[in-house]
Amino acid sequence: MREYAVFTEFSPASKPMVPGWNRRIFTDTDARKGNSIRCDFTTGIVTLAPGSYHITGLSMVAYTTGTEPPETTTIRSPASAGYCRLRIVEPGVVAQPADLRELPNSDPSIVCIGSPSTANLAPSLIETFYEADKTTEMLLEHQSGSNPEQIYLRVFVQNSKWHAFARISIRGL
């Protein structure tokens, strides 16, 4: 039996970015089969049982001033650039590096670096394979420069929480 799970971060509330890495906190389970892939909706940590996995995902951010007309976003040129990354965390540890460059992308805890993106709702995409030899905890995080002014991880507008700003899909092999 192949197991899989898809977790999404919708926008039940607006959430501004802070400088450095910002943890994606998934809010919903889109699909799930089996128990080897779990997500903590409080911390954003995804837990994998030992095994082999194919992982894909996206993470995007948006400019917003709060004064946009209904059903629109602010588009800027030039736009703040950034990307996401998938990172292993020690079990039970929820702290993140405080500094954007404190943990380099070459660190062995970094599983995958996302494609470049901008805050104009252009997503950063990941795709990788991962072999877990023990129970593993990981998280998806996003950065958009050292001064992400008016950039949001998620935006709640028009009384709709259905704005998907991040998604991770994991399939056991």
The pLDDT tens digits for 46-76 are: 999 999 999 999 999 999 998 888 888 889 9
Q: What pLDDT is attached to residue 160? A: 85
In this prediction, residues 9-36 reach a mean pLDDT of: 95
On the question of pLDDT at 93 being above 80, the answer is: no
Cα–Cα distance between 44 and 101 in angstroms, integer? 21
* Residues 6 or more apart whose Cβ sits within 8 Å of residue 29: 5, 6, 7, 39
pLDDT score of 29: 98
Mean pLDDT in residue range 147-169: 92
Please report which confidence band the pLDDT of residue 145 belongs to, taking 50, 70 and 90 as the band edges.
confident
Q: What is the DSSP string of 120-153?
A: BTB-EEEEEEEEESS-EEEEEEEE--S--TTEEE
The predicted structure's pLDDT at residue 162? 87
Confidence of residue 95 (pLDDT cuts 50, 70, 90): low
Domains of the chain and CATH, by start: 4-172 (2.60.120.40)
Q: How many residues does the chain have?
A: 173
Inform me whether the pLDDT recorded for 99 exceeds 70: no
What pLDDT shows up at residue 163? 92
Question: Is it the case that residue 105 has pLDDT exceeding 80?
Answer: yes
What is the structure's pLDDT at 96? 62
CB-CB contact of 6 with 167 (8 Å) = yes
Q: Provide the pLDDT for residue 169.
A: 98
Tell me what pLDDT residue 72 has.
85
What single DSSP character describes residue 109?
T
